Structure 1
Amino acid sequence: MLKKLSAFFSKEYAILSVYVLASIGIALQHYRGGPDKYNNFVIFRSSVLHLLHHQNLHLEYPDEYFDLFLYHPSFCILFSPFAFLPVSVSIVLWAIACSLAVFYAIKCLPVSYKSKCFLWWFILVELTTSLHSQQTNPLIAALGLFTFTFLEKQKPKWAALFPILAFCIKGYGLIFAAMFIFYPKKGQYILYSLIWLLVLTILPFPITGTGHFVQVYQDWFDILLADHKNNFGFSVMGLFKVWNPNLTDADVTRIQLAGLLLLATTWTLNLIKNTFADESRRMLLLAYLFLWVILFNHASESPTYVIAVTGAALFYIVNRDFVKPWPTVLIVLVLFFSMLAPTDVYPPSWRNEFFKPYLIKVIPCLLVWAVVQFELLFIYEKQPALSSTQY
């Protein structure tokens, strides 16, 4: 019986069905709770109307929603297909779109089917957490995976599109473009990146016209600067803030600069030593980016961890064939203390008095990042092939 169930839930159509049904269930749950339960979705819908009416996208509109719109102006255009349908329909379609993006990004990865099944099921828990917030984090994770896949296929024109798309949703999504340095056709990649950036940047122009176009981007730039103040997030900086309540904005900047220096050092050493010849090493570099961009992001929240957890899962499939048990230990810690921490698996008192105030969710992903950092700086042995297909 168990073998039959395992075989059934290893089938692609069964996993896809779970993704779609989970998306529908979560979307309807929040829709029934009223606008306060899908506030982020209201923000996205309203931003499209604000752009049409030449209003500042990034002001407070307390009569419509709480919080601020922090996204790129072009996101309004990308989201517009969901803005003019009835809320009950569009919120379901939005949740399904986010889930399908992750599902097909994993499906396209150049790894074995066994690894894809692991990724699909492992990430699902964190994906549902993100879907509850109606945010764009699953899309950012999917675009990072698509970047890797198309770089592996040596299709720089399309590989260049995905980090730019991610940037035009949330600025930090551009980080995945850093992978291009380990692949051939670098000139083509840079050229197409500039072309895609130009195309996506001018998306709002038909609506804004000449007069309002520059102002839209000035407003966006201003809100990005303001968003950095007094914000520590579910991040390395947030952990330091827990340990030292006197941490300042200047300290946040210093920690982020140290993280940036580590990233630059890691990329430079791997490039100089030419360690990226095998696919597993390149995927480990990708896992590093998925973890780094959340751990050193002052705006990280619990729902953004669908990105970091994806990095942890990539780390695991690269390392799980080694005899040492530490990859399994780390991934179990991620499951129980990062992914399940905000869920009803634990009593509310644990969640509200321990997991959340002490940012326990951050710690397992930080441990994985530290191990990946060590591997990329000090271990250069060839790792097991991820699949029989090499791009």
Structure 2
Amino acid sequence: MKRIAEFFSRENVILFVYILISIVTGIQDYVRGPLKYNNYIIFRQSLFHLLNRTNLHLEYPKEYFDLFLYHPSFCIMFAPFSLMPVVAGLFFWLLFCSLTLFYAIRTLPLSYKHKVFFWWFILLELNTSIHNEQTNPVIAALGLLTFSLLEKGRVKWAALLPVVAFCIKGYGLIFASLFLFYPKRGQYVLHFVFWFVVMSLLPLPFVGMSYFQQLYQDWYTCMIDDHKINFGLSIMGLIKLWFPSFTDKGVMRVQYLGLLLFAITWMWTLVRQHFTSQQNRFLLLAYASLWVIMFNHAAESPTYVIAIQGVVLWYVTSRESFGYPARFLVSSVFLFSILAPTDVYPALWRHEFLGPNLIKVIPCFIVWFVLQFQLLSLEKK
């Protein structure tokens, strides 16, 4: 048993599993047809819509279903995959998502034992995300890499990565807030502004000024419309489930409350100087990862790879002080958040109980709730 555990703790073995899952997922989705890899087609076609100067955020039923809800610069960032044949682009995109997250975990200043736990614990959630060809593993990885670079004092690149995350999905910007807990804040802000301008202007050389302005108007309109109809696998979704009269106006109020809690937590940490230990900074990264999903009106099952990384970081940082309750909570997350959408449970359970009752949300919400109080009661170390 010990030899088996040692074998599956080897980095090259884990890396092989990440690659294998990406390849198998790509084969499964490609064989099932375009409807299965619809999200990849949405990303792929966005480049061609951009170059043809058409509205990125309209429906194109002859090409795919659903809408492109991403930042205009993402079209250019995704170009290497768009320019490949569909089958090659699909496989390389899934590999890129998996390996980026694998590498990001590898860079963290954690013990190797904790990295192994991280790699294995998040694997099924990663699989859920890449089965939907989503960008969320990349956003999760960019958050981890931002933290690692800040820990190493590499301010210039730490300022770039949250901007890249924002140019995929706006909520990725949350990881930039970590800079407040590190020295060289002025340098960080200057580099951040520089990268933000550069990345925002990314489509300009390809489309010209007149369409460039329209591009951002269309994106803004899309974001506003999207906010009106979603409650998500989030705190707002739970409230909607329990109180059916809850409306989209209520979503905004809950999100404002979430922003207030986030601001209070960050201000309290700064004033009390609770960020001086690496352990506490890990807790802040965990909080940002959980918070951005719990208060995300568009959160869905594949988005939870970001929340799960928050759970892992909370657990490896807190399990010694919390003991059994921490093990119970992380086990609940695995059983009811990670496994909820998988075939481990019978289809009837998934469709009639787990899904409709947002069971996936509840364990992660409890971890976030515990972490909220934990951060407000920290002692300086």
Q: TM class, shorter-chain normalised?
A: over 0.9
The yes-or-no answer on 1:79 pairing with 2:78 is yes
Q: Deviations along 1:151-191, whole A, 9 cap, x unmatched?
A: 10111101001100000000010000110101100000000
SS in 1 for 2:222: helix
SS in 2 for 1:115: helix
The residue aligned with 1:13 is 12
Cα distance, 1:381 vs. partner?
A: 5.9
Give the Cα separation in 1 of the matches to 2:86 and 2:4: 36
Cα distance, 1:89 vs. partner?
A: 1.0
The residue aligned with 2:345 is 346
Give the Cα separation in 2 of the matches to 1:371 and 1:42: 39
* Residues 213-252 of structure 1 aligned to structure 2 (within 5 Å): 213-252=212-251
Q: Write the letter of the residue equivalent to 1:84.
A: L
Give the Cα separation in 1 of the matches to 2:271 and 2:152: 23
Q: Deviations along 1:350-372, whole A, 9 cap, x unmatched?
A: 10011110100000000000111
The yes-or-no answer on 1:182 pairing with 2:156 is no
SS in 1 for 2:30: helix
Q: Write the letter of the residue equivalent to 2:176.
A: A
Structure 1 residue runs without a partner (length 5+)? 383-391
Does structure 2 retain, via aligned residues, the 8 Å contact 1:74–1:204?
Answer: yes
SS in 2 for 1:35: coil
Cα distance, 1:323 vs. partner?
A: 5.9
Does structure 2 retain, via aligned residues, the 8 Å contact 1:28–1:88?
Answer: no
* Residues 145-294 of structure 1 aligned to structure 2 (within 5 Å): 145-294=144-293
Does structure 1 retain, via aligned residues, the 8 Å contact 2:272–2:380?
Answer: no
The residue aligned with 1:330 is 329
Aligned length in residues: 381
The residue aligned with 2:60 is 61
The residue aligned with 1:43 is 42
Q: Deviations along 1:308-335, whole A, 9 cap, x unmatched?
A: 0010000001012236311111100000
Give the Cα separation in 1 of the matches to 2:37 and 2:240: 30
Does structure 2 retain, via aligned residues, the 8 Å contact 1:141–1:310?
Answer: yes
Q: Deviations along 1:95-146, whole A, 9 cap, x unmatched?
A: 0000001000000001110111010000101000001100100000000000
Cα distance, 1:239 vs. partner?
A: 0.2
The yes-or-no answer on 1:30 pairing with 2:56 is no
Q: Write the letter of the residue equivalent to 2:3.
A: K
Cα distance, 1:4 vs. partner?
A: 1.4
Give the Cα separation in 1 of the matches to 2:275 and 2:209: 46
Give the Cα separation in 2 of the matches to 1:297 and 1:323: 28
Give the Cα separation in 1 of the matches to 2:352 and 2:181: 44
RMSD: 0.8
Give the Cα separation in 2 of the matches to 1:161 and 1:213: 22
Give the Cα separation in 1 of the matches to 2:219 and 2:322: 49
SS in 1 for 2:228: coil
The residue aligned with 1:387 is none
Q: Write the letter of the residue equivalent to 2:359.
A: I
Q: Deviations along 1:13-45, whole A, 9 cap, x unmatched?
A: 100000000001001100111100110001011
The yes-or-no answer on 1:121 pairing with 2:113 is no
Give the Cα separation in 2 of the matches to 1:32 and 1:62: 21
- In the TM superposition, structure 1's runs of 4+ consecutive aligned residues that sit over 4 Å from their partners are none
TM-score by length of 1: 0.96
Does structure 1 retain, via aligned residues, the 8 Å contact 2:275–2:380?
Answer: no
Does structure 1 retain, via aligned residues, the 8 Å contact 2:319–2:327?
Answer: yes
Give the Cα separation in 1 of the matches to 2:16 and 2:100: 14
